[in-house]
Structure 1
């Protein structure tokens, strides 16, 4: 008789290594302060960079869409699931990103899977930064193309690979815009220059740059003034945008191709009308988000300086993602637990998400945090550090 003994054993090993973590169930919606088991704690791990999850305009748009269109879309996009609200969202995204077109997926993860698996064939090569997100890695695994990995942000190695890869039909360089574990920014100008020199495509996943970098949060392409020189921009509607979903901003020909080839798009029911409408409202809010983004970056600089003043290693962080590098997985998770005792939720992240000796408690600062909130977190860090060393 079949049993699950191997799964039990693996879970027990995770517990022994201090890497087992059950789901945390929250009693309130995403915000700077949230309720956990009846207790209010400061949230320092949310991707809600601009605080849009509770924006009244987004909530009102969702309610209005339910009243007009109903609770669901009823179908995949290619049958009866493309409602007027979906078309409006894609047109607005394309205008916002400054591209010919945009195509929305159910998540940023499925966007990467759908696009990479569709555009890469056995005669192509994909060249990927070693620290790219899991969704990029999984998307590449779905292809039959050759794969080359370059050391993190190592442009010399990237150029060497390009020089050695002249016989392929397509060469696609793939990078995160902002790397989610370390909070550093891709050297996109150098990548674009190499791509143009060696006739390669540039593919940027801006999940943690959408709503964070560039004019009104347009992303790394705009941040570096590279509009028109990046072929494929992946964005998320799930982080700074405050709702859920992903998209590709691209030329119209690629959108038309993906509509016919991208399996997550073809075989998934489209976004609910409420989701599409609230995403559309969020993009319109982003167009007026200059003050919010300025506050986000001011908060990030203040908190990072405070963490470093306490003697912590924040790695390569240069964005609102601020890791506190601890190292050992068990010690990392213990530090996260101590912070929660102090009233701060900051998630510990350990192997295999990061290297075994690079466990970290990852803080994410938002525009919603006040200076008092950030000082509260810094004081909690200091107290938890003392307890960890006892």
Structure 2
């Protein structure tokens, strides 16, 4: 998009009564952001859902000045931005009617990989939640997914740090402008995140991390990915809002179950009980539900069994057991091979990528 069109899009954002849905409607009708300001009011009022109150302020010079100031900030900071019609705009988010008109981003974000997962949860992560995150990322790493979260305390920063440790791209969706970082305690992770992905936001440099911004930001986390995973949540919380939004976008939602007596498992257990989320105890289950095991790393060709593949001792043990015993439960494989479940899960996922085993419904696996 040209600078003139970008400035016009910013002007639309600045007008109080024009949100993302209305802005897109005006642009679609007129053909471009600049055309909206060039068209006559009587023509715009003929658009369904557009009234005088909507257009109030459209030509107010104060909002034009605000847009110009933000334009200068973006230019000076050399920020990247994506317009909702651009090729660089996240594909999954394009299918969300209320997706942001504009997204601003820093870092090395590359969304060519369609394997994108949003991981959310409580800010008060427990040892149980941390252990699950560690096992999950280790299992899923061979598929090189993009991990999206909110860069907040608890589950967010835990999953994003683990993603970076395993060389995965991670994206932090912020509830404020790119001129600041919240929480401040996470500034030490900023450069590493930008190296391994980056940050994106719809908010201007004039926006602060206010409560309503976090709730608004959640729709981006839910909409930008193929699936949302809730690791831990109390009975109420922002992660449940994100799960609800993901369901509204017809995306897959997963939740990690916990003991009924654990405060931060209540939200997840309720999602599962109400059939608003798939129960998730290992990455292999997510891989199965999303059909990722049917794809190669380049997402173009089916995984083929590699002949004469080099196996380590753990892989040899598991493969030999499955060859001799046929379809077997994950837990039973772990018991019979005398290996911890998290190790068996990650090894089986790696073996799937090599075309040696196949995941089946019900946590069953078989040698190919």
TM-score, length-scaled by structure 2? 0.29
Q: Which has the higher contact order (CA 8 A, sep 6+)?
A: 1
Which structure: greater helix fraction? 2
TM-score, length-scaled by structure 1? 0.28
